[in-house]
Structure formats: C-alpha cells, structure tokens
Structure 1
Amino acid sequence: MVEFWHQLLREFQTPFQDSVLVFSVILFIILLAPVLLKRLRIPGIIGLIISGIIIGPHGLFLIEKNAAVDLFSTIGLLYIMFIAGLELDLGEFKKYRHKSLGFGLLTFLFPIALGFPVCYYLLGYGFNTSLLTASMFATHTLIAYPIVSRLGIAKNEAVAVAVGGTILTDTAVLIILAVIAGVEAEGGVNGLWARLAISILIFILVVAFVIPRIAAWFFKRLEDEKNSHFIFVLSVVFFCAFLAELSGLEPIIGAFAAGLMLNPLIPHTSGLMNRLEFVGNSLFIPFFLISVGMLIDIRVLTNGFGALLVAAALTAVALGGKWIAAYITGLWFRYSRSQSRLIFGLSSAHAAATLAVILVGYNIGIIDDNILNGTIVLILVTCLVASFVTEEAGKHVVLETDGEEPAEMRENPQRILVPISNPVTMERLIDFAITLKEPKNAFPIVALTVVPDDDKARAKLVQARKMLEKAITHAAAADQEIDITTTIDQNVTTGIQRVVKELFITDVVMGWPGKTNIADIIFGKTFDSVVNQTTQHVFITRFTLPLNVHNRLHILCPHLAEKESGFHAWVARLMRVAARLNLRTMLYGSEETYRAMTEYLAKNKINVSVESRTSYEISDLIRIRASVSPDDMVALICARKGSISYTPLLDILPKKMVRQMSDNSLVFVYPEIAPDDFIPSYTQEPAGGFLERGMDILRSARSIFKK
C-alpha cells in the first residue's frame, strides 16, 4: 500500500512527465479557464494566456515546454493563420486590397519610425540592434482573431483590411529576418537575394496554381468521403507551411496562403468549414495561446531599473506605433470609431513573429538579455490589450452592422422548404438551401416528403421519415437545424402547397425531375404545378457537381425582370450564393436589368461584382453555351404566366437548357409575385413554341416506352 502511494506521488511530481496527464491538464484548462474568467468579464483568450503563465516553467512549473508542447503550439499558430485566410471574404479582400496595402504600409512604417530612435538614442543600442528591434515592433500576431470569428464579423471591411495588412507587414519583416539570418550564416549577401526570389517564386507557383487544381479534383472525385475532406485540408495546410519554410519564409505565410487558395472551395456554410473551425477553436488554437503564456516570465520586472525601462519603452513604442497606424487608417478610409479600434485590437498583439525576430537576433548576438526579457513583457501586455480592445470594439461593430441587411429581409424573414423524393439528390438540395439561407435567420430549413394516400401510405411514411433523418445528420455537420415533415395527401403538389401555406414558407427548393411518366405528359410535372399554384420563390435545381467546385455563375434574365416585385429578393438570394461559393457572376439581360441590379447591390452594400453580358439574348443558347465552362453554374430567371416579364419562351427554355447544357449545374428561379403583378396576356405563342412543346411530348413518350 505504501508503495502504491509512493508511485502515485511520483506520477504527480512536477513537471508532469506522463504525456496522458499533461494532455489531460491542458484539456481541463481549455475547458475551465474561459468559463471561469468570463464571470470576471475577462476574455477567454486572456484566461488561456494567464493559465499558461501559471502552469509554465516560470510559474508553478506543472508542465515543461517540451517538444510535444512546441508541436501543438506550432500547429495552433498555423491554424490561426489558416482560418484567417479561409474565413476571409475574398470579394472584400480584392475590393479593399488597396486599403490593406495602405494599412500594411502604415503599420510597418510607424512602429519602425518610433522604435528606432527610442532604441538608438534613449536606450543607447547600436544601429543593427536598434534596426532589428524596431522591425520587431512592426510585426503582429492575430491573437484576437478568434474573438472576431466568434462575434461573426470576420467579413467586416475593417477585419479584411487588418488581416490583409497583417500579412503584408509580417511578410516584409520576415523577409528582412530571412536576409539577416542569411547574411549572418553566409557572411554576405552574394547570391542571397537571387536564391530567395527564386524560391519564393516557386512557392507562389505551387500554392497558387497546383494546389487549387488538386483540391478541386479531390473534392469532385471524393464528394461522399467527408472525413477524407478534413484530412486532405489539414495535409494541404501543413504542406504549404513546410513549402514556405523551405522557401525562406515563415510557415505562417504558407498556412495563410493555403487558407486563401482553399477559400473558394470551402463554403463558409458547409459542414467541412464547421468541422475545421470546431477543431481549431476547441483544441489547436487554445493550445497555442497556453504556450504563449508559458513563454512569459513576469519575474524579469524585478531584475532592476534597466530591465523595467527597456520593458516599458518597448511596450509603449509597440502599442503607440500600432495605435497611430490604426487611427490614421480610420481617418484615411472614413471608418467608424469602433472599426478603427477593431483594427488596433487586431494589429496590436505581438507573439509569434515577434519572438522569431528577437530569438534570431539573440542567437546571433545582436540582442541582449534586457531586450529579450522586455520582449516577453511586451508579449504579455500587448496580448492583454489586444484581447480587451478587440472584444469591446467588436461588440460595437456588431451593433452597428445589425441593421444593414435589406429591408425586405427584415420585414419578411426567410423560411425555406425543401421537398425531397430522391435520396440521391437530397444532400445537394440541402446544401443549396443552406447556401441560400440568409445569415442570422433563426428559422430552420424544412425538409418535406409527401406520401400518396393509398394502401401503402403507412409503410411509405415510415420509409420517408428514415430518409429525412439523413438530412438532419447532413445539415448538423454544417451546424444547421432542419425540421423534417412527412405528410399524406392526394398528390405531391397539393401536399407541398398546403405545407407552404401552413408554415408561411418564402422559398421552395426542388430538384429537377428525372424520368418522365405518362401522368407528367398529361397533367404536367410536379414542379410546374407547384410553380403555378404558389406565389413564393421557387428554385428548381439540377446539380452535376458539388456546390463548392463551381467557378462562375451565369444569370439569364428576361426583359422587364427588374419590374417584378420579387426582383430585389431573388437578386439578394443569388448574390448570397455567389458570395458564399466565391463565384464570378455574369448577367445576361437588358441594360435596364443590369443597372437595376448594380444599383440595388450598391445601395445595400452587397459586395459582389457582376459583369455585364447585355449583348446576349437569353434565347440564343448556342452563343451562351459557348461562353459557359463545364464547371459553371447557370441560373435562368423564369416568370409565371401573367407576370410582367413572362414570355412563352420561358416555358420551353428550361427543357432546352437541360438537354443542351448537360454538363452544367442549372438553377431555374421563379421569383415571388404579388397579386397585382399579373397582367392580361394577349401574347400569342409562336408556332415554334407549339412545335417545341409537341416535340417535348413525343420525346417524353418515347423515353417512357423505350427499354
């Protein structure tokens, strides 16, 4: 028994040596620290950093900073940069790239301009030491980015500018660091710049051109292997980080580049995105924050007045330089006060790149102990300031942007119905409905199956419910809620129509029917009946590829489409799809329609650029098809009979597109209508229309009796 207690005490000797115990302690800290400190109104990030101080080598020394901790810390840092690139709104990033460049220049120059005189004249260091230390002030780490992500403002313009500026300034400083390290190692710069330029060029070519093509091929070929998607993405992230290191850059640049390259292929509403964020925010990123705390030694403040002076000077210059850059950026681009503070909060934390610069200088003998210890204090203070400022400013930005969605969305909240009859197309229909759904919409998507009222109705009802339960599982992976409904009715159309009325549905998402039967020829297809007997938005879809691998969205509009009452609503919905799937958007229609669309997008601050193809007629499918690639999605804006933009051509065009664009994903949109949208129709259907309709019936009948 005594031996047992001795063995137990040995297991708990500090620092803990048992890897299972170490991992358990860290997981408990990740679980409890944010929860406990939240009661004190302290951000969870600060709780993790403080926990790292307490359990680390400079605190209670419960855990030593060994290779395993360093590995998880590195993974966490790379994950932060990867998620930053993945969550970045590429449309915003491209639109504001000049602003990112401006902020990156300011946040690079001001800290150096302030830091060099302080180090050279006030602290009395030499030229090289002062220059290297000043360049350290220019770097910053996105410690507070998880706060922005949690608040749901990662797509805000200020965040896009701050993240873009971070990459620019960190890249510049880390290239300087690579040059300094190369000079010290080789004793000169002969051949260094040429070798660095070539290696960076190779890195860019591989990451920008090879990786996206491999990823697109992988997602197409292995659409159903969801677990493989997650492993593949992680492999790409760390491979790109390794390539960056091999090229003379820091691995964080490679991780961010991987996020940017995979951004168009991983929709922000997808299950894969949800899994990536969950693993990062739950494990890897907290591990990194704890490891940052383990680096901090607050005892350096007791090493005399010199250490205190250096620490105070470094901290003041670091925060002052970043504040000036953020303040001028806010004035320059006319940001709100909250957005300026948000930029300061995101850019004021110093950790990874700062340590890289200082440790290189320390190892080659340029940096002394006072600057090294002062940098540790700088990391602690700036991480605290960044977290508090980002939390406070982020909440104000949320309040400022809450009312920015279009008025019709606020007045008529979206409720989406997805009738499902084919389990093969179920996942893509649900994915499209999730992509279509407006943000902050509390109403769950409704999945519906209508069972005919016959002798086998009960058995079919049980079978239908089992099928719909798979929809719940699929949507849960994307953190989306789905209500499933099964109902018995005389026919599918009346069942859908009844549910639309009962649940106040605004959007119906259906699949294009496959085979045609005799009843379809005589009485019309189900979707025709649904369109004719409802006034809500109806989206008839036929997807040939996974949603995330499409490149462009071609929108075909009839004349006078902008006069319909549902024009703004369908524009908002399709632009949401284009933004979430990162699709280049082309509009085929009249100049008036294009002008009305661009005015609406500008008025409601919807940052999706639409290219004009107004010289095309939507009836000229041969010409349109020539400009469409197999990876493109084509949306036809249809119209119900009697509405202002209706023409008989719209009755036959969907079937022609299905036949002539067999490789493309198609979406047929029937906008919502109001009773006063109907006008008497005196338009005679052309002979070609009757002929085309007759040929459709003959083709359908032949396909039924054909073996």
Structure 2
Amino acid sequence: MSALIHGLPDSPIVGFTALLLAILTVPPLVERLRLPGLVGLLAAGIMLGGNGLGLISSDDAGMALLSDIGKIYLMFVAGLEIDLAEFRKTQNRSLGFGAATFFIPLIFGTIMGRSFNFGWNGSILIGSLLASHTLLGFPIVRRLGVVRTEAVTVTVGATIVTDTAALLVLAICVAIHGGSFTGSFLVKQLILLGAYAVAVLWGLDWAGREYFKRTGDEEGNQFLFVLFGVFLAAIVAQMINVDKIVGAFLAGLAINDALGKGPVQEKVEFLGSTLFIPFFFIDMGLLIDIPRFIDSLVQNPLLTIALSASLISSKFLASLVCKVAFRYNWAETITMWSLSLPQVAATLAATLVGVQVGLLGEEIFNGVIVMMLVTSILGPLLTERFAAQLTPPLPTSLPEPDTLWFQADALVPSLTAGVPVPDFCTLFPEDDRPHPFTVLVPLANPSTEQGLIELAALVAQQESGTIVPLKITKAHVNMADPQLDQDLLRGRRILRRAVDLCQGFGVTVDPVLRIDDDVAAGITHAAREHQADLIVMGWSRFSLRSRLLGTVTEAVFWAAHCPVAVTRLVDNPQQIQRILVPVKDLLPRTLRTVRFAQWLGETNGGTVVLLHICVAWTPPEQITAFETSLNQWVEQQSGTLNPGRSGGETLEPNPGATVQVTTLTGESITGEEVASIILNQAQQFDLVVLRSVRRRTAGGFAVSTVTNQVMDNFGGSIVLFGEPHG
C-alpha cells in the first residue's frame, strides 16, 4: 500500500480525488451500521490524514479553503432549513422552550467548566457549546407524519433561539479573548452586531426578493446570487470582529423566506450536502490525532463524561420545565428532549473556532467529538421510539364534499390543523366554476401515447371534463426551416391519433400543438394557459444529459401550477382493478392522491387499498383515530361504510368499486423497511399510486428514498402523484 501511495503524483488533485472517493463510499457503509453518515466522514478524515494514509493534511491551503467553505455552508444550510412559518405559529412557546434549552445547558456547562479549572470566558463558551442543538431527528418525525404536532414545531422553532444565542455568545467570548475588552467595547460590539443582523436579515431578504422577482426562472443566476450573499455576509461578519459562521447562519435565515421551497433551494442544499459540508467534517477528522485523542480520554475521562452528562441532563431538565409549563405529556416531552440532544452543526463549528483562537484546548475538542457521537446516536434512537407515540392533530369536523382541488391549500388551513378542509373535486361550486375539469397530456413517445390518453380519459370521465393533448415542437432559429415543418407535421399526426383515442370515452378533446424553446417550460406554460387541473405525463428515461441537466419530468414537477401524475404503465389502464395507495398522514396533498386513485377505481369498478404503515408500539387509539378519520373522509365522497377484510373497513361509493383501509406495523419503520412492506403488498396489485416527497438528488426525480426503492423494484404500473410547488 505504501509503495502505491508513494507512486502517486505529487499533485493536489490526488488529495481531492481521495476526498471525493471518501464522501462517495464511506457514509453509506457507516449508515448500514445504523450510525450517522457524519461519523463515517470523521473516520474518513482520520484514515486520509497523518494517522492513516497521509494523503491529506489539514494544514494544506486547499484543504483549509474547502473546510472553511464547508463550515460556512453548514451554518448557512442550518439557517436555510429552519421553517420560519412553523416558528411563527408557535412563537411564544418556541421562545419559551428555546430560552430554557439554551440557558439551562449554558449554566450547567459553565459550572462544569469552572469545576475543571477553566476560566470564566472559557467556561461560558463551553456552556454555549451545550446550548445549541442540531435537528438530526427531524427526518424521523417527518417520516412518522408528526411534524405538525406542537411538540415538534416548538422544538424546531427553538432552534432559531439556541443557535442564534450560542453564536452570539461565541462572538463575545472570542472578542474578550482577543484582548483590549472594555465595557465600551462590548456596547460598541453589540451595536455593530445588532446593525449587522438587521442589515443581513432584512437587507438580504429584500435584495433576494427583488432579484428573484426580476430574474424570473433564471435559476443559474439566482443560485449564484445566493452563494454571493452567503459569502458576502461571512466576510462582513469578520470585518466587525464576529466569526464568519454567524454571518452564514443569519444569511440562511434571511434567504429562507426570499428563496422559498423550489429548485434553486434544492440545488443550493444539494451542492452543500454532497460536496462542501462533507469537506468540513473530513477536516475535523484530520484534526483528530488518534494517540493524543486516546491519551486525553484516558487522562481526562471525567471531563469527557462530564461534557456528555451535562448536556444530556440539562437538555432533559429544559424539556421537563416545558412539560410542567405547557402541560405536555411524556411522549411530547421526551420527543422534545431527543430532538434537542444532538450536537453537530453549530457545536462543531463553534468548537473549532474556540480551538483555533486558543480559547479552548485539545481536551475539550476531543470531549466534544465524543459528545457528538453519543448524542447523534442517542437522540435519533429516542426520537424513533417516542415520536411514534405522538398523536397527529386530526380534523374536528369533516370537510364538505366536492369543493377543493389543489389551489385551496393556499386558501384554507391543512386538514391536520384541526380546521375543516373542503374535499377535492372542484375549486369552486359547480355553478360558479369558470371552466370544466381539464387534464393536460404532453405527448412525445408514440409507444406510451395510448396509455397516457386512456388514463387521462378515465380521470376526466369522472368529472365530465376535457382532455388537452399537447405536442411540443422544439423551436428553430429560422422559423422557415424545413426541419421545423417536418416536426410540426409529425406533431399533428400524433395529435390526430390522440383525438381518435379520446372519442371512445365521451370526453371533450382540445388538442394543442405548440412551438417552444424548452419542452418543460412549454408544458407548464400550456397547462397554465388552459387552466389545467391535472397534468398526466410519462416517465422520463434517464440519460447522461438528464443526469447532468435534469429531466423534463423533473422540471415540470417543480414548475407546474397543478398536480402532476407521472405514470409508468405496464397494463392497459382500463384493465387496472386493484390499486394500492400508501397513506402516511391526513394532509390535503395525501387525500388528493387518494382521490386520484378513487377516480380510477370507480371507473373500472375496482378496489383501492389505502395502506397505513406505523411502528409496532404506536398506541391502538392513535391507529383507530387515524383509520376513523380517513374512513370518514372517504365515506363523505359517496357511499356508506361496511365491515371489511383484514381488520379494516370498506366503502362502496358505487356498485363494484371498493375502498379499504389497512394498517400494518413494523418493529422499526426505517425507509428500507417501509419500502419492503409496500413492495410485498404491491405484488397483489395492478397499480401503485405514490405521493411524491421531495428530497435532494443528484439527478432524476426528486423523491423520497422509499419512493425510489418502490419505483426501482416494482415491476407493475406506477403513478407518482406530485403536488404543485407552492
């Protein structure tokens, strides 16, 4: 091995290639052991550094730059991912829990530091390291469908308080350590910091809104603007004697509202999470000297134990205070505790700053690494166990039938907020509706054309609607180009076949031939112009170009104003009898997916099975409440409830059509287990309807891991039902 390493060229490219290989391979291997991926990145840093292969050194200028960028990006994403809308809903309780889970650990940490003979400045900084938290368990509560419970929203909102306050303490402690600190200096520093925070939070927010408004869909320039804003905020922070990670976090909060959820945010977060942030964690591994790390743990075991014990006990005490103050039950209390336990982002970044300026010693750095490992494992385990016992808020009354399609999400609160939400078929009452229910069908592949048209016709038939077959012809620079004439001729032929296919279904057809520079933009613009209520389109085939630039399907999915049903049909839609729909929560977007499946089931006189998967220890009353609410919603569409098979209940909305609710449980509902359960059940069905849940991907459709696994391994027909990107 050493001979191979010595034979490598003496070039920075070698180290960079090793970094990419480590990021690509190590985290997935560590996650198979049920450990966080960042643990693998730390291990990769150790292996690549002086204690291992010696390919990279933390002192290298290139590595220092990449680590700094990663640290800035880490804090920026931490601010960007905070849901300000949820914070505003429970801001008083979020501020209360934020204050408790900041000041109690701050006091515990300060006392611990003093007991180990640290100075007041260093002790307070140690306390601030315990005060922040990283929401490692948030993907778990999102998967369990309890994000909107008060305990979770309060904890998420408290993150703003703890991270901001911890970074403020860091800035003051570093300034004091720098010397020449006086009362007037403190006042001046606080004034500068306040003015800076206002300038970033409001100024960058305003600038972002104005820039995004003027650039429209120019995602490349918007992406560059975001990066420029983040690093400019970091530079200005350093100019006023504040660490750059404070500026990056504030920039994340500022751009949060202006950027919104969309493809630009996806690209920003994707670049950071797959490239720059892992560089920072690998650099943390490079800083760990294994012999000295072991020596410090052996020589100062009490310090390491005291750090972790102080954090765990103080965070629990803060949650207990809120249990008494807000009258939470134990499941809510322990969920809040478990979500606020992990110490990763702000803690590691602040610790590294403290070590670099000489305020903290190597023994604290090593103790924080151990604390991070302990809490990043313990926190998600507790969240998985106790968040499943939370009861998602259910509607207090049933929605009125036939009054809602997708647009009403912006007009009324969600179903799980306990507020009545109208059902689903139309936006307006029938006598006020300005246009018939419209299904847009983009056509490109002759082999899938018939299936798409038939599926759209079955849906439109239920609403006496209109089908708009759409053929996009790519524009040429010269509109008199003979090639364009040939393309238009082929397009007309495709549309004529589509019209012929629609005639047997008794629906109105309005074919559209459009010339456009961009196929995805042409589809979304046509959908808006024709007031489409639904887009039905085929699966995009992946190619090298699609991996680099994205697929048409993905672009439509992000930009469309209405739901998109992406289909992969194996059988004729008219032969589909048994339809499986996994159901996780009772949000309007879930119920719209259910209603879409009902349309198909009612048309073919088939069976729709709504599959609810939960952990084995979910309280029976919670399962019963979920099933009852879902059954009542389905019943209100039409028909009456009757006893069903498999412990569920069935509904007969019209003769021959059946809807059944089935609940299955598993010991630990990980993404792989959920996908496995769905796949096992799907073998008995003709069609699986999945609701899209967005996640960052390197290319292709932005969907959840569960959805990806089902799509990759199920050989039957699939519809991926995507919501408009609000």
Q: TM-score, normalising length from structure 1?
A: 0.54
User: How many Å separate the matches in 1 of 2:143 and 2:275?
Assistant: 15
User: How many Å separate the matches in 2 of 1:38 and 1:89?
Assistant: 27
Question: 2:67 aligned to 44, 50, 73, which one?
Answer: 73
2:484 maps to 1:463: no
Question: 2:12 aligned to 7, 10, 19, which one?
Answer: 19
2:300 maps to 1:280: no
Aligned to 1:289: 281
Q: How does 1:61-100 map to 2 (within 5 A)?
A: 61-65=54-58, 66-100=60-94
User: How many Å separate the matches in 1 of 2:298 and 2:531?
Assistant: 80
2:419 maps to 1:419: no
Aligned to 1:379: 369
Question: 2:161 aligned to 139, 152, 168, which one?
Answer: 168
Aligned to 1:200: 193
User: How many Å separate the matches in 1 of 2:528 and 2:288?
Assistant: 63
Asked if 2 retains the 8 angstrom alpha-carbon contact of 1:419 and 1:509, the reply is no
Q: How many residues align?
A: 468
3-state DSSP class of the match of 2:13? helix
Taking structure 1 as reference, are residues 234 and 394 closer, same or farther at Cα in structure 2, changes over 3 Å only?
farther
3-state DSSP class of the match of 1:449? strand
User: How many Å separate the matches in 2 of 1:376 and 1:196?
Assistant: 31
User: How many Å separate the matches in 2 of 1:465 and 1:342?
Assistant: 59
Aligned to 1:117: 111
User: How many Å separate the matches in 1 of 2:525 and 2:382?
Assistant: 44
Question: 2:6 aligned to 10, 14, 21, which one?
Answer: 10
User: AA paired with 1:278?
Assistant: F
Q: How does 1:444-593 map to 2 (within 5 A)?
A: 448-449=468-469, 462-463=490-491, 487-488=498-499, 497=508
Aligned to 2:39: 46
Asked if 1 retains the 8 angstrom alpha-carbon contact of 2:527 and 2:560, the reply is no
Taking structure 1 as reference, are residues 272 and 128 closer, same or farther at Cα in structure 2, changes over 3 Å only?
closer
Taking structure 1 as reference, are residues 388 and 319 closer, same or farther at Cα in structure 2, changes over 3 Å only?
closer
User: AA paired with 1:261?
Assistant: A
Aligned to 1:314: 307
Aligned to 1:234: 227
User: AA paired with 2:6?
Assistant: R
Cα deviation for residue 94 of structure 1 reads 0.8
CA RMSD of aligned residues (A): 5.2
Asked if 2 retains the 8 angstrom alpha-carbon contact of 1:450 and 1:486, the reply is no
User: How many Å separate the matches in 2 of 1:292 and 1:143?
Assistant: 19
User: How many Å separate the matches in 2 of 1:293 and 1:383?
Assistant: 13
Give a deviation string over 1:561-618, Cα, whole Å, max 9, x none. xxxxxxxxxx957x99xxxxxxxxxxxxxxxxxxxxxxxxxxx9xxxxxxxxxxxxxx
User: How many Å separate the matches in 2 of 1:194 and 1:359?
Assistant: 26
Asked if 2 retains the 8 angstrom alpha-carbon contact of 1:301 and 1:308, the reply is no
Question: 1:189 aligned to 182, 186, 199, which one?
Answer: 182
User: How many Å separate the matches in 2 of 1:493 and 1:458?
Assistant: 29
Asked if 1 retains the 8 angstrom alpha-carbon contact of 2:131 and 2:166, the reply is yes
Taking structure 1 as reference, are residues 396 and 178 closer, same or farther at Cα in structure 2, changes over 3 Å only?
closer
Taking structure 1 as reference, are residues 80 and 388 closer, same or farther at Cα in structure 2, changes over 3 Å only?
farther
Identity %: 31
Give a deviation string over 1:186-235, Cα, whole Å, max 9, x none. 42314213322332233233223332332223223222322222222222
Cα deviation for residue 105 of structure 1 reads 1.5
2:100 maps to 1:106: yes
Point out which structure has higher relative CO (alpha carbons under 8 A, 6+ apart): 1
Larger radius of gyration: 1
Comparing 326-335 with 279-288, which one deviates more in the overlay? 326-335
User: AA paired with 2:25?
Assistant: L
Q: How does 1:557-706 map to 2 (within 5 A)?
A: none
Cα deviation for residue 254 of structure 1 reads 2.6
User: AA paired with 2:491?
Assistant: Q
User: How many Å separate the matches in 2 of 1:78 and 1:156?
Assistant: 31
Cα deviation for residue 92 of structure 1 reads 1.0
User: AA paired with 2:77?
Assistant: I
Asked if 1 retains the 8 angstrom alpha-carbon contact of 2:468 and 2:509, the reply is no
Cα deviation for residue 84 of structure 1 reads 3.5
User: AA paired with 2:440?
Assistant: P
Q: TM-score, normalising length from structure 2?
A: 0.53
Asked if 2 retains the 8 angstrom alpha-carbon contact of 1:349 and 1:379, the reply is no
3-state DSSP class of the match of 1:224? coil
User: How many Å separate the matches in 2 of 1:39 and 1:71?
Assistant: 31
